Chains A and B, each alone.
Chain A
């Protein structure tokens, strides 16, 4: 199993551009989530999904959209990039029940100039 994969690894955007960060998992997990990691701020939840067709907002959802059309994929869209969105983005997939564990992808390092 590949686990959780993310593309791209690195991205530079200009202010106002849009893009989609891809995330996929092959563990058949229902729950997936997106975090951003900033120095001194830890990991903050952007959006999450409890299954195909169902998404909800996390702590810092503004400026981001998500959709979940399949169990495997959970893309994160930046509608109009801003310098404040410069960050490292991590996607996570969660096993449920007594074996609860969040598995993280390798991250996407995004710079907005």
Chain B
């Protein structure tokens, strides 16, 4: 069965330090991976998707099919990056995303 694993519930880093939020997936087909972000008391919003290969707000993520991973990285954390981050997997067609349990990122000044 398809599954998304985010091993860290909470990640605390100092401002200016590098950030890596881990995401691993389990899916036998060809995956499409996404990162969503939820700022305090706001709705979830798309941060980036692997097929776009883009950098949003300084974040990047590379799909590694060999390691079944899609880790989210940023070289220098900012206080405004503090939020809940969810990794999500699209399995086929236009079906709803399968989400991981989320990682709360706290950037300390």
Same assembly: yes
A residues with a Cβ closer than 8 A to B are: 30-31, 33, 35, 40-45, 48, 50, 58, 90, 92, 94, 96-97, 100-102, 104-107
Tell which of B41-49, B60-68, B71-79 binds the partner: B41-49
Q: Which of B6, B9, B49, B96 contacts A31, CB < 8 Å?
A: B96
Known: A40-B101, A41-B101. A100 touches B86 (CB 8 A): no
Q: Looking at the assembled complex, report how far the CB atom of A7 sits from the nearest CB atom of chain B, in whole angstroms.
A: 14
Question: What CA separation (Å) do A40 and B32 show in the bound complex?
Answer: 24
Task: Describe A's contact surface by its main secondary structure.
Answer: strand
Known: A40-B9, A90-B43. A96 touches B96 (CB 8 A): no
CB pairs A–B below 8 angstroms (11 shown)? A31-B94, A35-B96, A35-B99, A40-B9, A40-B101, A42-B100, A43-B99, A100-B94, A102-B88, A104-B45, A106-B42
Chain B interface size band reads 20 to 34
Question: Is B44 a contact partner of A90 (Cβ separation < 8 A)?
Answer: yes
Question: Is B86 a contact partner of A43 (Cβ separation < 8 A)?
Answer: yes
Task: Describe B's contact surface by its main secondary structure.
Answer: loop
Question: What CA separation (Å) do A104 and B105 show in the bound complex?
Answer: 21
State which residues 85-100 of B face A: CB under 8 Å.
Answer: 86, 88, 90, 94-100
Pairs of residues from A and B, 9 with the lowest C-beta to C-beta distance, nearest first: A42-B101, A43-B99, A33-B96, A96-B94, A104-B44, A104-B43, A106-B43, A42-B102, A48-B96
Question: Is A101 a contact partner of B96 (Cβ separation < 8 A)?
Answer: no
Question: What CA separation (Å) do A92 and B97 show in the bound complex?
Answer: 10
Chain B residues lying within 8 Å of A40, measured Cβ to Cβ, are 9, 101
Chain A residues lying within 8 Å of B100, measured Cβ to Cβ, are 42
